[in-house]
Amino acid sequence: MMNVLLIDDDNELTTLLKDYLSAEGFEVTCFEDAKKGLDFLSTRTVDIVVLDVMMPRMNGIETLQRIRRTSNVPVLMLTARGDEVDRISGLNLGADDYVPKPCSPGELVARLRAILRRTAQNRDGEEGVEIVRAGPLALMPGTRTAEWSGHPLELTGAEFNLLEVLARSAGQLVSKQDLSKRAFGRPLTPFDRRIDVHISSVRQKLGLHPDGQSWIRAVRGQGYQLIKDGSIQ
């Protein structure tokens, strides 16, 4: 049974979501206060955190910052519908996905399962020893760890997914639509900027190619390409 930590000060919504998630086979722990949720997370292991952005005292963005200081647990943010600033801030800080409020319990369950499938992929079995290489990059899907020029590369779950897709197609252009389907398990929707936000963060972590440009090149209106062996096609 997957353990979900739900932090949201909307009691009516948390009751609805807890009942629905429990019926879908999740074990759910709820806190309306972010500090109490963080205290719980510091002593217990959970599979995923569902975190509201708009909360009193400590908001979801600050809470996410604190989580990311010590944990890579997947985090799904609940954001106000149409509030792009909160969505981008959350993604930049390491959120794996977001769902606008008010949200349907069915959509939330689908998003949670998609994230959990991605984070659990290749943890067991022979595929755990696989190494995906592209230039200075080495990705180990089995442990979901990465190295850049032999040094550990810290990535969020979403960043790892995107970089793995690009690395497996290194030297080739990958469309945003293909990236969304392969990395996040769903089609790209209009005005969805999560891929651009995550790619921007990964670019900063990789630094610059010897030619002074980014290791991840953008082709306007088409997609992204990870440079392989110092060349671009």
Domains and CATH numbers, the chain: 3-120 (3.40.50.2300), 126-226 (1.10.10.10)
Predicted local distance difference test score (pLDDT) of residue 67: 93
pLDDT in tens, 29-88: 999 999 999 999 988 889 999 999 988 889 999 999 999 988 889 999 998 766 677 778
Which amino acid, one-letter code, is at 12? E
- Taking the C-alpha atoms of residue 169 and residue 147, their distance in angstroms, rounded to an integer, is 18
On the 0-12 / 13-18 / 19+ scale of CB atoms within 10 A, 190 is exposed
Q: Which 3 state secondary structure label does DSSP give 119?
A: helix
Predicted local distance difference test score (pLDDT) of residue 128: 44
Q: How confident is the model at residue 115 (pLDDT cuts 50, 70, 90)?
A: confident
- Taking the C-alpha atoms of residue 160 and residue 154, their distance in angstroms, rounded to an integer, is 9
Structure tokens at 74: 């997947």
